[in-house]
């Protein structure tokens, strides 16, 4: 994703942020307040209709509301008209010389508030090229006043912003994640294990993710699923057949330089934190013991406090020693790129739209990596068990994956923080979910673990997004309707996107562990994606099985 793309916004220079802000607000007063607090913080250049409500009294009135994107309901009445509306919008913008990158249907709410105040706004994404504000406004007004009105949706607002569409990419004996290991350090161990979410490197500047493992019955070969733009970027236009890939023999490195450095830095930082915690608890113990002897304190209470501090020292020392051991193993076995070779490209399909009709097309962008036996066949390989801990606490996981309390029933947190990939989500459920959101309406929470953002949870949007892909080297522009995922923000309110650069190839799962989609890219202006795009499993798996007959998801491991 182009993190430093030039700004659009009526020809305003990005070098002068203050002037840009002033010019945007002079054209459209709510430019920044409409999206304030959202991921990326990209303002609307213009929005039709009345202004969105802001607080008018009390202590909150001095600050704009913190906004967040939310999914459009799968039962919204516009759904049956959506592809026709998108065609007309795209045709109009092409005619007036303002080709769109994105046509998205998004809902908006205020962070921390249950109510979704805007059930749907049609957001149009322009490329980072200057356009006159008068032309931007006229085009948006036309969409609402003519195209939407003609289909009975004259009250639906239209917003314009800048938006880009980009892929999200940035022979060791890799162990599987074992939650019985010493110390509570799974979050730091996971980047260096063979569990799905494994970081990949094909070129020095491109890193991505292995999302899931596959195997043919009766065959020992294990395949890792990722994106073509991750595993074979040099063959984006042609792809690689099984025979061509065998002749080319393009090596794949696990844990690219970026992922390696970030993993080591995280371990080093946490060890330093542990040392400070240990010293602080020891100081507390010394202080408590000094006061035990003066006879003026409650003996039993002080003894309990001393014991709690001693236990904290002991568990923290265990975690620190476990991290030290992990750091030693990594630096001893994985320092050099050649030590992290895990296999070669087995096959890759060319990157393209599945059909020439964008309203029925989806992104074709996948590849198989044939994995080395010594890396993935050693005892203890757990296959498709996805780590769901780390950024998402156990309490958050329950609240986000089962937001409707009536659905929880016999809910159990995934054992050992590992969610087994099992089966796939059928088309009927992707289009009409049987699960429910916090309001009781149909909705599908989705989970993924990627190289960059780790474990994140989002919502399947009720409307697909029209997107134009133009930034893939060697590939002609193509358009399609992308399956769209929007971040769920937990109670902690952390500002974390569902995906970012390096997450391409991650498997997106439903809460039961069924394979829902393959993460292929996202839309945004920064390294983080405002919204994430993916190819549904019900469309992807038949293509994979045509290329590699008999292949299926690696079976569950006890």
Q: What is the pLDDT of residue 104?
A: 95
| CA distances (Å), origin 406, targets 74, 179, 256, 403, 449 | 20, 31, 43, 9, 27
Of 98, 82, 81, the residue nearest 142 (C-alpha):
98
Beta carbons within 10 angstroms of residue 232's beta carbon:
28
Q: What is the pLDDT of residue 191?
A: 61
| Long-range CB contact pairs, 216-219, < 8 A, 24+ | 216/548, 216/549, 216/550, 216/551, 216/552, 217/550, 217/552
Kindly tell me the burial class for residue 245, based on how many C-beta atoms sit within 10 Å of its own C-beta (0-12, 13-18, 19 or more).
buried
What residue ranges do the domains of the chain occupy?
A: 17-53+61-162, 185-256+340-547, 258-338
Q: What is the pLDDT of residue 181?
A: 52
| CA distances (Å), origin 286, targets 280, 293, 310 | 10, 12, 11
Q: What is the pLDDT of residue 272?
A: 87
Residue 148 in tokens: 């939407």
Q: What is the pLDDT of residue 231?
A: 84
Strands 157-162 and 118-126: parallel
Q: What is the pLDDT of residue 381?
A: 78
How far is residue 260's CA from residue 243's CA, in Å, rounded to a whole number?
Answer: 32
Q: Are 183 and 319 in contact (CB under 8 A)?
A: yes
Task: Give all strands (DSSP E) within 367-473, no chain letters.
Answer: 367-371, 385-387, 418-420, 445-450, 454-460, 465-469
Beta carbons within 10 angstroms of residue 494's beta carbon:
12
How far is residue 184's CA from residue 323's CA, in Å, rounded to a whole number?
Answer: 9
Cα dihedral: 335, 338, 339, 345 (round 10): 130
What is the CA 502 to chain-centroid distance, rounded? 10
Beta carbons within 10 angstroms of residue 332's beta carbon:
9
Q: Domain 185-256+340-547, CATH 2.40.10.10 — does that match?
A: yes
Q: Please report, for the chain, how many H helices and E strands are present, in that order.
A: 13, 25
Residue 58 in tokens: 């009390």
How far is residue 25's CA from residue 32's CA, in Å, rounded to a whole number?
Answer: 8
Q: Are 382 and 418 in contact (CB under 8 A)?
A: yes
Q: What is the pLDDT of residue 473?
A: 63
How far is residue 68's CA from residue 38's CA, in Å, rounded to a whole number?
Answer: 5
Q: What is the pLDDT of residue 309?
A: 86
Residue 466 in tokens: 């029209």
How far is residue 193's CA from residue 353's CA, in Å, rounded to a whole number?
Answer: 33
* pLDDT, averaged in runs of 10, over the chain (558 residues): 32 56 87 83 90 72 80 95 95 92 93 90 87 93 96 96 71 48 60 60 62 87 89 86 85 72 82 88 82 67 84 86 78 67 87 89 92 69 84 88 86 89 96 89 92 89 88 71 86 67 90 95 73 95 95 86
Q: 206 CB contacts (<8 Å, ≥6 apart)?
A: 169, 170, 229, 230, 233
Of 200, 168, 110, the residue nearest 526 (C-alpha):
168
Type and span of the H or E element at 275: helix 257-292
How far is residue 448's CA from residue 457's CA, in Å, rounded to a whole number?
Answer: 7
Q: What is the pLDDT of residue 121?
A: 97
Q: What is the pLDDT of residue 11?
A: 38
Type and span of the H or E element at 306: helix 299-333
Q: What is the pLDDT of residue 448?
A: 94
How far is residue 236's CA from residue 71's CA, in Å, rounded to a whole number?
Answer: 31
Q: What is the pLDDT of residue 138?
A: 96
Type and span of the H or E element at 327: helix 299-333
What is the CA 279 to chain-centroid distance, rounded? 37
Helices within 115-162 (DSSP H only): 133-142, 149-150
Task: Give all strands (DSSP E) within 143-232, no chain letters.
Answer: 157-162, 164-166, 198-203, 206-210, 212-215, 222-226
């Amino acid at each position: 994703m182009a993190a430093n793309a030039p700004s659009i916004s009526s020809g305003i220079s990005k070098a002068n942020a203050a002037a840009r802000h002033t010019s945007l607000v002079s054209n459209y007063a709510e430019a920044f307040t409409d999206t304030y607090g959202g991921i990326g913080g990209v303002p609307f250049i213009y929005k039709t209709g009345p202004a969105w409500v802001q607080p008018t009294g009390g202590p909150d009135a001095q600050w704009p509301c913190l906004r967040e994107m939310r999914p459009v309901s799968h039962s919204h009445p516009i759904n049956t008209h959506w592809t026709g509306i998108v065609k007309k919008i795209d045709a109009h913008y092409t005619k007036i010389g303002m080709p769109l990158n994105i046509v998205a249907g998004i809902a908006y709410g205020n962070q921390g508030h249950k109510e979704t105040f805007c059930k749907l706004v049609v957001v149009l994404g322009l490329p980072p090229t200057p356009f006159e504000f008068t032309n931007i406004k006229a085009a948006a007004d036309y969409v609402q006043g003519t195209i939407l009105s003609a289909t009975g949706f004259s009250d639906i607002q239209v917003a314009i912003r800048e938006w880009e569409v980009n892929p999200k990419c940035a022979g060791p004996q890799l162990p599987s994640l074992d939650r019985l290991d010493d110390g509570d350090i799974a979050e730091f161990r996971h980047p260096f294990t063979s569990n799905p979410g494994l970081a990949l490197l094909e070129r020095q500047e491109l890193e991505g993710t292995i999302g899931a493992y596959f195997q043919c019955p009766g065959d020992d070969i294990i395949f890792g699923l990722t994106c073509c733009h991750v595993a074979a970027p040099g063959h984006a236009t042609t792809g690689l057949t099984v025979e061509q890939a065998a002749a080319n023999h393009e090596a794949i490195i696990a844990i690219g330089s970026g992922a390696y450095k970030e993993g080591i830095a995280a371990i080093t930082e946490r060890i330093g934190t542990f040392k400070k915690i240990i010293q602080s608890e020891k100081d507390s113990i010394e202080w408590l013991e000094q006061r035990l002897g003066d006879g003026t304190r409650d003996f039993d209470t002080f003894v309990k406090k001393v014991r709690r501090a001693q236990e904290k020292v002991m568990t923290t020392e265990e975690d620190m020693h476990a991290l030290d051991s992990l750091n030693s193993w990594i630096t001893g076995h994985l320092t050099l790129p050649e030590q992290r070779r895990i296999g070669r490209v087995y096959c890759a399909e060319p990157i393209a739209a599945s059909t020439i009709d964008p309203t029925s097309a989806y992104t074709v962008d996948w590849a198989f990596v044939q994995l080395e036996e010594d890396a993935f066949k050693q005892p203890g390989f757990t296959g498709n068990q996805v780590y769901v801990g780390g950024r998402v606490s156990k309490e958050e996981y329950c609240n986000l994956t089962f937001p409707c309390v009536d659905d929880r029933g016999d809910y159990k947190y995934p054992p050992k923080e590992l969610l087994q990939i099992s089966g796939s989500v059928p088309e009927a459920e992707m289009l009409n979910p049987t699960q429910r959101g916090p309001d009781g309406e149909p909705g599908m929470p989705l989970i993924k673990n990627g190289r960059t953002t780790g474990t994140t949870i989002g919502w399947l949007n009720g409307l697909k997004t029209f997107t134009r892909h133009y930034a893939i080297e060697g590939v002609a522009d193509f358009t399609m309707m992308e399956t769209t995922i929007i971040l769920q923000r937990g109670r902690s309110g952390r500002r974390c996107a569902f995906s970012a650069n390096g997450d391409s190839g991650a498997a997106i799962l439903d809460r039961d562990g069924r394979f829902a989609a393959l993460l292929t890219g996202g839309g945004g202006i920064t390294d983080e994606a405002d919204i994430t795009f993916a190819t549904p499993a019900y469309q992807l798996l038949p293509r994979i099985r045509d290329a590699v007959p008999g292949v299926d998801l690696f079976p569950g491991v006890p």
